Structure 1
Amino acid sequence: PPLAGVIRSVALFITLLGTWFIVQTYFDQSWKDISLRSWLGEAPVCKQLPRHKCGNRKSCPENYFAFRIISGAANVVGPSICFNDMVIMSNVKNNIGRGLNIALVNGESDINKLDTFLQEIQRGTIVLTASYDDAATKMNDKVRAHFVELGSSHVSKLGFRDNWVFLGAKGLKNKSPFEEHIKNDMKTNKYDGWPELLEMEGCAPRKMD
């Protein structure tokens, strides 16, 4: 009968109206906004994290240099030195070697040449150092004394295959706060015969004294 058809149509309309009301009531407005942007073809807004110099976790004040020093890993992966967002030494640059890797800012080796090299560093020069494989055998007492003058607290204890990263300066009056050292110990070594690599980052003042 025609009346039954009308009733079914009205019931269907009421059902659709009730469904629409539930959606409007229970779905969060933010979800609707996101869906609307998607329907309109708008890309979601992504916040890009700021990049700091040398890939460090924090930025440095205006009168400081950002640096990152990574020691070698065993005798397989070489060290890297970044200073003020410039990679000075790395495997990619192919300018590293086993033993001591030293970079001077402002401004190999047998031990005698290393002694002369360190002795001739000008006052105020920042020195960045990373070990690779074994650095201790590249040193004698004179070489170690030069690093002590540069502000090192650990160089005198550096032993066979120890890992060491250091930033100091010629003419430094106090000990440098930028130094890390890990002993070669068969009980704690990460690699077979070598300790874990060291990674140090920070902000060095433009004038270290």
Structure 2
Amino acid sequence: MVCFRFPSANVLKAVGLLVASCCAWYLGYLFAEVLPENSVEVAISNIQSIGEKPVVRAPPPKRQKCDHWVACPPETYAYRLLSGGGKEYLPKICFEDELMMGEKKNNVGRGINIAIVNYDTGKAVDTKIFDMYEGDFSGSLVTFLKNAPQRSILLMSTHDDGATKLSEDAKKAIEALGSKEIRNIRFRSSWTYVAGKGVKLPDDLQKEKINHSDNNKNRYSGWPAEIQIEGCLPRNLK
């Protein structure tokens, strides 16, 4: 009688391990041939992202006309005026998102900077600088204001000194446009002003602001700090 002897347990484990290894290799080879090259990386990335909290990012703020924080309503003009500050920061006059006067346009300087805008079109008519420290330019400033056409918006901003050689006639001409502060302007005062010629501006509109150099002793070594005014001008004024 012939007896059959079964393989030992160790031999069976070894054979099973060999078969499993061969199957694993074959399946890996098969998947590598069938799946796209980046599918494994994508799968791993997806697994790693499970449980992560989604990052919610606020959209970047939309830029408004003349760099306003809040958009002006429809049927209004946006305006923003900055006076000069110290020696280096020059004035800037913006109307309906157009830079009328500023360092980038190389058309601002010491004294009183004035831009004239056609109210009905919102477009610049003329711009000019009047040095009030050297020379006599008060007479030409008065002429410039008198020659501004009717239905104009006049935007004024100082840099450094707008008062030393500002004559009485010039003060009266600016005062006639509605300024409340022109007689308070002193050496190196910061001053900004928006006026209408042949156009009555709303009473609640921000139109004028002044600050004096002696109020800024800790800034710019006695030079005046910049100030600004901005607003939304209705387009349907009479």
Bucket of the pairwise TM-score, normalised by the shorter protein: 0.7 to 0.9
Q: Tell me if 1:75 matches 2:87.
A: yes
Alignment of 1:15-164 (within 5 A): 32=52, 34=54, 46-106=58-118, 107=125, 109=130, 110-164=137-191
- 1:21-56 Cα offsets, whole Å, 9 max, x none, are xxxxxxxxx964628xxxxxxxx6642322210111
SS of equivalent to 1:203: strand
SS of equivalent to 2:222: coil
8 Å Cα contact 1:169/1:208 also seen in 2? no
Task: Indicate how the Cα distance of structure 1 residues 138 and 59 shifts in structure 2: closer, same or farther if over 3 A, else same.
Answer: farther
SS of equivalent to 2:112: strand
Task: Indicate how the Cα distance of structure 1 residues 187 and 68 shifts in structure 2: closer, same or farther if over 3 A, else same.
Answer: closer
- 1:52-87 Cα offsets, whole Å, 9 max, x none, are 101111111222111111111122221111110011
Rounded to whole Å, the distance in 2 between the matches of 1:69 and 1:144 is 20
SS of equivalent to 2:214: coil
Question: Which protein shows a greater Rg?
Answer: 2
Task: Indicate how the Cα distance of structure 1 residues 84 and 187 shifts in structure 2: closer, same or farther if over 3 A, else same.
Answer: closer
Q: Which amino acid aligns with 2:168?
A: D
Could you list the runs of 4 or more consecutive aligned residues of structure 1 that deviate by over 3 angstroms after TM superposition? 30-33, 171-177, 186-189
SS of equivalent to 2:164: helix
Q: Which runs of 5+ in 1 are unaligned?
A: 1-29, 36-43
8 Å Cα contact 1:184/1:194 also seen in 2? yes
Rounded to whole Å, the distance in 2 between the matches of 1:138 and 1:55 is 33
* Residue of structure 2 in register with 1:168 after alignment: 195
Report the alpha carbon displacement of residue 206 of structure 1 after superposing the two structures with TM.
Answer: 2.5
* Residue of structure 1 in register with 2:222 after alignment: 193
Alignment length (residue pairs): 173
Rounded to whole Å, the distance in 1 between the matches of 2:176 and 2:231 is 21
Q: Give the TM-score, by structure 1 length.
A: 0.73
Rounded to whole Å, the distance in 2 between the matches of 1:157 and 1:186 is 14
8 Å Cα contact 2:80/2:230 also seen in 1? yes
8 Å Cα contact 1:129/1:165 also seen in 2? yes
8 Å Cα contact 1:100/1:138 also seen in 2? no
8 Å Cα contact 2:216/2:225 also seen in 1? no
